[in-house]
Structure 1
């Protein structure tokens, strides 16, 4: 007979009963060769919510390992996580975090507060510190709608599990420096949801322009970033058709600017 978790934390149950199933316990000592890395995630606040977007490229060194990877995941009805770093560990952390929040809701009969979610995620990142010190780091960017405050909030983390609230926008991953430059120029207070999505896509465009590990929107293959908007209505994935229109408009605008220059 399988013993069920006694408390609201599924993570604590795994630590106690099956540590081998944790992301940090699933890999041997040392850094495996040829591990794909997920790259750039951007997030920004808009009026009443937040946008989180990730490119679709994973790399092994200077080789493109995948053009289809998804790095942004809904964790419950009102929150989303994007993760950069070692792709396998990143995805395991995201999936485990989803289960952790679902388990808490089933046991307690209510959603964990947004601050509580961010704290749980910080503890999971801290649990991977041993692998991070061996070069297998996975760092999240967490965002959600805070029902108590009636607004969207954004949290960044470091590999030790340090948690930091970002007030306007943030980016992580190999292309983050270039994405942040775009966010600083394009973001402004009170953005509409649609404008927030466009700014996120433009930031990924700029990151892909200067960082070979970041994949921009790809009209040839019909590949678009994974973009989620989170507000009082919940977490919603932006439709690929909308992203295709936004990407086409950005390409037209930049083509005209290039010809005029």
Structure 2
């Protein structure tokens, strides 16, 4: 007798050997659960909350990934304290820009994808392998992107093979590109990149890198209304992940508050940050 839905046994699909990709399994056996499976009626667009600016910086011993906390919907602030930076696994993290709801679903599926691979294969996927898996998931969302619901993340990780931090950016078609030293995505990325060009230097320490990304987000918020600047009144700080040989850790609010207040104090009579 074949296994049925009420006999307490898993369906045959769960017991059939296949690839180590959970996304491929989901697309084959429950395609309606894949984030890109939902489509809008022809000719229709949807005004949904969008995440904005994400920055990444390599330093001597690792890489930082940070994001502001604002989500916008047109000219409105949809959310003031949105989380945009997530740990993907023990040694990598992803920051989201683009349509917030779909981006968060893609990140959650990506987290399961990496965990599933590790359980099936008994080893961590290489950092380049992780970057490529994320690229294929973004490529699958191209139909939604053509309707205005794009997902453009920034991926960073500590490469155990080389002992260095690495940064990967994407386009809406799933193109994956390794960036050197620093990068930024989102509506305020142009201003953040300009700041990082002046602040980054070889041999940057972790503390100096933290200061650099906070200043870059400050400059992005100064010229881009969709990027949220330091909110001292509400005590809302950027989200900042540190990735090094120990894995991923997020700076707590006490550490962030000290850096943010230092940047704000230094900009009080020098709003442009001239040096």
Q: What is the TM-score with the length of structure 1 in the denominator? A: 0.96
Q: Displacement of 1:83 after TM fit?
A: 1.1
What's 1:18 paired with?
30
What's 2:101 paired with?
88
What's 1:157 paired with?
170
In the alignment, the residues of structure 1 paired with residue 213 and residue 91 of structure 2 have an alpha-carbon distance, to the nearest angstrom, of 19
Q: Specify which of 96, 105, 111 is matched with residue 124 of structure 2.
A: 111
In the alignment, the residues of structure 1 paired with residue 251 and residue 175 of structure 2 have an alpha-carbon distance, to the nearest angstrom, of 30
Alignment of 1:37-52 (within 5 A): 37-52=50-65
What's 1:98 paired with?
111
Q: Displacement of 1:257 after TM fit?
A: 3.0
Q: Specify which of 173, 180, 194 is matched with residue 186 of structure 2.
A: 173
Q: Displacement of 1:74 after TM fit?
A: 0.2
What's 1:233 paired with?
246
Q: Deviations over 1:73-106 (max 9, x none)?
A: 0000000000100001110111010000000011
Q: Displacement of 1:216 after TM fit?
A: 1.2
Equivalent pair of 2:45/2:147 in contact (CA under 8 Å): no
Of residues 19-28 and 38-47 in structure 1, the stretch that sits farther from structure 2 once superposed is: 19-28
Equivalent pair of 2:89/2:115 in contact (CA under 8 Å): yes
What's 2:141 paired with?
128
Q: Deviations over 1:113-133 (max 9, x none)?
A: 001000100100100011111
Runs of 5+ unmatched residues, structure 1: none
Q: Displacement of 1:255 after TM fit?
A: 1.1
State which structure, 1 or 2, has the greater radius of gyration over its C-alpha atoms.
Answer: 2
SS in 2 for 1:188: coil
In the alignment, the residues of structure 2 paired with residue 236 and residue 27 of structure 1 have an alpha-carbon distance, to the nearest angstrom, of 36
Q: Displacement of 1:26 after TM fit?
A: 3.1
Q: Deviations over 1:175-218 (max 9, x none)?
A: 00010111011111111111111111110000001100000121
Q: What is the TM-score with the length of structure 2 in the denominator? A: 0.91
Runs of 5+ unmatched residues, structure 2: 1-9
Indicate whether 1:70 and 2:86 are aligned. no
How large is the RMSD of aligned CA atoms in angstroms? 1.4
SS in 1 for 2:101: helix
What's 1:205 paired with?
218
In the alignment, the residues of structure 2 paired with residue 192 and residue 257 of structure 1 have an alpha-carbon distance, to the nearest angstrom, of 24
Indicate whether 1:139 and 2:152 are aligned. yes
Q: Deviations over 1:199-247 (max 9, x none)?
A: 1111000000110000012110010111001010101101111111001
Size of the alignment, in residue pairs?
A: 259
Q: Displacement of 1:27 after TM fit?
A: 4.2
Q: Deviations over 1:123-146 (max 9, x none)?
A: 001000111111110111000000
SS in 2 for 1:96: helix
